[in-house]
Chains A and B, each alone.
Chain A
């Protein structure tokens, strides 16, 4: 599968999303991981008939298309929210202020 963000980078984005309210990029990243799992799963499936092969090819192609679309979405969202694209760190302005504890 062709990817722009590595698994490690997706996990890093998800790690910063403890607060649900600012977890939109993390939600996208989570679905990207799900699509990667789906792609990997069907790659391991047996092709016993032509239909099997067609089914798996279809899933692989559509998972890749969905993945490309969501990766593009993630890239755009991170830029809109002004994340640091080199370190993939969330801007301070998005962090929920912590009450004095």
Chain B
């Protein structure tokens, strides 16, 4: 992970994290042939019971991080599945054929694709979705949210921490608005669990999606919190043996679940330390690059998690920037969209112009990032920006005092 083995400096923790060695160690007990390999659903022998006990212990650990009841935790294959299950599950249950309530859903334009694409799917099924514009800071204006609520609104889905910007939405306040109107409130917490305090006993959140691989746990593992009081009902999306109280069938992957449990246990223990560490490194990084001209921070640093830091370097194109930062593993926008030529939809929703959206870099810092990593990153970034600006006709024009917005471009 460090530059000593000549691998790129990893600063893409928001895309995925390495597993904490403690998590890997715990998982091994359920992976090796001489370990506990039983199917937790096997009721007739100790192999099954041992696996089931481990699964329930992990459920407690996940619940503990967010102050929930373990019975409110449903295992899934990841946050994408959790988002799909929460949104479609609520829509189909409360907005289905026999429902009197309605078919209106509110979300925002900067949600993760797992939420946006699911909402698009529901639109095809006849639901109506309002996509709120964020403020230029990335925050959702509560008055605008409230204004969008209607009598037939069944669900509000707003993410806790944005994966590209790191901005933290005020989910406690949103919960007050939704609860008062009997609207189900879903929160994608894939990027916030272990980064921000979450207390589901006081926050009026009804459904919350979690991912293991964003907090040093295994990939392919997630969970959905489903509130019991007041009880939230869902229509299952995966049917079969009736696992997870009928809400999500499929053999439970014991080792993955145990890994997620351990990751959440560690997160509870180390959250304060992790975030202090990230804040110091983020500040160091920003100090190291902010004197380059035309640098813009995307989002609102004061209302963001310190582990995600998104900046744009004007007059430099994003993909070539990534290319010249080959010794840094960073991302421009989210991992899912980086293969396409589109600028980040999140930055566009903030009102950033295309050039700045194109030249954005998301640095995401983690538990294993060092000061040396940051210093090396600063050196690489400065060199890359200087090189690319020397190559950039736009930089020349800016330096000549030409207003680029007044230039007529031959769009192609």
| A and B form one complex | no
Residues in chain B within 8 A of chain A (CB atoms): none
Residues in chain A within 8 A of chain B (CB atoms): none
